[in-house]
Amino acid sequence: MKIVVLAGGVGGARFVRGVREAVRRAAPDAALANADIDVIVNTGDDWWLAGLRIAPDHDSLLYTLSGQNDEVRGWGRVGETERVSAELQAHGVTPDWFTLGDLDLGTHIARSAWLRAGLSPSEVSRRLQQRWPLGVTLHPATDDEVDTHVVTTAGERLHFQEWWTRHRATLPVARFEQQGVAEARPAPGVLAALEAADVVIIAPSNPVVSIGTILSVPGMREAVLTAGAGTAPVVGVSPIIAGAAVRGMADACLSAIGVATDAGAVARLYGARPAGGLLDAWLVGVEDESLVAGLRADGFAAAAVPLWMRDLDTSAALAAAALATGLEQARA
Ligand code: FO1
């Protein structure tokens, strides 16, 4: 069995760790036993800084799945030091609002060296995964640069990372732009994984700048809809519980595109497959049980389950619920 997950950074990494654990815990004769897990990772947060290619969502997954993520800060490596970063900031080649830890710099220098040697981001990702076998396969959504930029209502245009880390998403947004996305294509491994998928899961990541960016790559939406030769159900997990973003600033992004911070509104943003959208099924938190009937009426197979991923057990339980819901929708 092949499970394909579309994911962004921190929330996506925790969810994918849950999917891996749910597969590990599956009974030997269960459908999930020994399933392959392929993750399509958002690359819209990526940027060039001090001549280095930074890939936050990819590295959140890489570090979380290899047990090296700084779970307190939510990003970067555990046990990190910042000696080089202090030098970079003193030279003015990195801003004081974006810290590159010494170990993390090792990843960025290796990535940038390989890119300069002509490797694609997918090949770079594969090399990083060889050093730290994850039990899943990460695929950058595209090998083309589609850095997300924010155009503020004040007419300022800045890279997403500046809006996110310097301004904490407080600057009002007129629109998001995935720079160069019209020329982008899904990375080779992405299309192969989707073609072989038995189920596709949309992780509880930021629906606008993470999942939205992945889906904005030309050809990606069609590849998801026809996954598994058209038989793979698509199940999504809400990133919103009881009207609040679980983490990150998904609410700031949703309001910027005129979508309510509501588990039902996000489902309708993705759309139900019978209505021309993407989803066969949608999981909301038990706090949002009241939304289920309306979602079902709109063509979603909807269910309310515990959505809070506090630890490995709750993450694995949520992943198992998403997989079970998805597989119930297995398309004939
Ligand atoms: N987030 C911050 O809030 N402050 C930082 O200084 C920072 C540095 C950083 C370095 C490498 C990296 O991979 C991620 C980093 N992040 C930082 C997190 C990053 O902005 C977010 O993980 C994603 O971009 C949001 O989806």
What CATH number corresponds to the domain at position 241? 3.40.50.10680
Q: How close is the Cα of 162 to the center of ligand 1, in Å?
A: 10
213 occurs within a structural domain = yes
pLDDT for position 9: 86
Q: Report pLDDT digits (tens) over 129-165.
A: 999 999 999 999 999 999 999 999 999 999 999 999 9
> What average pLDDT score do residues 114-125 get?
98
C-beta of residue 280 within 8 angstroms of C-beta of residue 326: yes
- Choose one of 53, 80, 98 to mutate for the ligand 1 pocket test, by most ligand atoms within 8 angstroms of C-beta: 98
C-beta of residue 139 within 8 angstroms of C-beta of residue 190: yes
Q: Report pLDDT digits (tens) over 46-98.
A: 999 999 999 999 999 999 999 999 998 889 999 999 999 999 999 999 999 99
Of 320, 316, 312, 313, the closest CA to residue 303 belongs to 320
Q: Report pLDDT digits (tens) over 185-234.
A: 999 999 999 999 999 999 999 999 999 999 999 999 999 999 999 999 99
- Ligand 1: nearest atom to the Cα of 210: 26
173 occurs within a structural domain = no
170 occurs within a structural domain = no
What pLDDT band is residue 331 in, cutting at 50, 70 and 90? Answer: low
Q: How close is the Cα of 56 to the center of ligand 1, in Å?
A: 6
Evaluate if residue 332 carries a pLDDT over 60.
Answer: no
What residue's CA is closest to ligand 1, atom 13? 56
How far apart CA 204 and CA 214 sit, in angstroms, is 13
Evaluate if residue 40 carries a pLDDT over 60.
Answer: yes
Domain that holds residue 244: 2-146+181-331
289 occurs within a structural domain = yes
pLDDT for position 299: 97
Check residues 188 and 283 and name the one with the higher pLDDT.
Answer: 283
pLDDT for position 248: 77
> Domain count of the chain?
1
Evaluate if residue 317 carries a pLDDT over 90.
Answer: yes
- Taking CA atoms, 151 is separated from 86, 188, 207, 266, 283, in Å, by 30, 31, 18, 22, 32
